[in-house]
Structures are given as structure tokens and as C-alpha cells.
Chain A
């Protein structure tokens, strides 16, 4: 009887259970302070991202502004910014429709932090870019098309 093998099997079994519990949200991995939202970042369609974020059906809002170039010459570095005029904006996410995984980045804004975040993203091709915002318990969204002349996702 190979005891080592038995031990190994036991521990992988335990790991599997741990993984399931983590996925179900029952345990948060102690390494991460605010566990990375794997499901949302690996989602490939708009519905899946919204579902993973628990966003339901966001309403279009003019109070959410997405800034960025109309035409990005280099898809590897596309500056985008999200601004929200909605009171109590607590969450901001940037989604790129035609990227392999739609969700690019998300931000949690504690009270006192302005709903005005800028970053740079990669875009594989011309696509709609969405800014998703949570304010006062509801989700709002705005969209902008950014044309890309040179893709930023390898190739």
C-alpha cells in the first residue's frame, strides 16, 4: 500500500472541497483581502459579466460619462476614464465588448472617493466600451465606441 499516494489523494480531495467553498463564496481565501472576482473577469458575454457582478439590467444613464479617444491608434494603450454624477456612486467597472474577456477593470469607491477614475486598457479591435456604475443600490451604464487601428492583444 502506498501511503504517500493515499495522503496525496486525501489532500487533493480536501483542496477540491476548499475550492468549491471558495467558489460558492462561503470562504474567502485568506491571501486575498478582497478576493479577485474570477467569474466576472472570465465571463465572455455581457450577460455573464452582469450576472457575475450581480448587476441585473443596468439602466442607461447620461450621468455616467465614459471618456476616451474616438479613434485609438494603438489598442495596447487606450486611455479611458469613468465619471459619474450620480450621488453615492460606489462601484465602477470598465467593459470592452469585443475583448476575449469583457471586464477590464473594476473599482470599489469608499465614501469620500470621487466617482472619477482613469486608467489605460487594451483593446483587441474596434469595439463598444461600457462604463458600469453602481449608485444607491442600482446599476447604470453608458457606452462609447472606440475605433482601434492597431489591435493590442498580440497577434
Chain B
């Protein structure tokens, strides 16, 4: 399955910005078998980076044990309405995706 767009929400309360991300990814563990008993190869996000106005605010590494369609929530200081928060991920097959959202 090709990865769909992420759903990102970034909300500022004046001092802090709360970011909620819902990625669209299979996060196949490599432990499961298909109907004929063959192992389904692992396919999962390995790295995720969130930036605010070009500055990294969170760098994460995922193993296959992160749930399908990974959800992530964090907060950082600063961030005003209208700023941009950008999130990118890379998976173990080299697929990438970047999405951007405006802080509300």
C-alpha cells in the first residue's frame, strides 16, 4: 500500500505548541505470515523528524512494534499561529513522505 498523507494538527496556546500526527503506514512487523505461510517482510517507518520553521523539534526512531498507522503526540515551546510545522518520515524500504501544517 502506498503511504497516504499524514494528518497533522498543531495547536498553539501562546507558549506551547501541541502537535498531533497520524501517519498512514502499514508498519508490517516481519513476524506475520500470509495465507500460504510465507513471512510477510518487515515494512515500517524507521525515522521521523518534525521541524518548526526549519528547526528540529522532535526526532524519533520507530521499530516494527509501533502500531499500524502510527500516532504521535508531543509539545514544544514557542510556535505562533501561522507558523509552519513540517513532519517527514523514512521507512526501511527507503520510502519517504513529508507533510506540512500551519499552526492554529
Docked Cα-Cα span, A128 to B89, in Å, equals 28
Residues of B in contact with A, size category = 35 or more
- A73 interface contact, C-beta 8 A: no
Partner of B66, one of A33, A37, A121: A121
- Please report the number of residue pairs spanning A and B whose Cβ atoms sit closer than 8 angstroms: 116
- B16 interface contact, C-beta 8 A: yes
Residues of A in contact with B, size category = 35 or more
Known: A106-B60, A121-B65, A153-B31. A113 touches B90 (CB 8 A): no
Which residues of B does A touch, CB under 8 Å?
A: 16, 27, 29, 31-33, 46-47, 49, 55-68, 70-78, 90, 92, 94
Supplied contacts A116-B74, A119-B71, A153-B65, 17 more A-B pairs, CB within 8 Å: A33-B49, A34-B59, A34-B61, A78-B67, A104-B65, A106-B61, A108-B58, A108-B59, A109-B58, A113-B76, A117-B73, A119-B72, A120-B67, A122-B29, A122-B65, A153-B32, A154-B31
Can you identify 18 A-B contacts, CB atoms within 8 angstroms? A31-B94, A41-B63, A81-B73, A104-B65, A106-B61, A107-B74, A110-B55, A112-B76, A113-B75, A113-B77, A117-B72, A118-B73, A119-B72, A122-B27, A122-B66, A122-B68, A123-B65, A153-B29
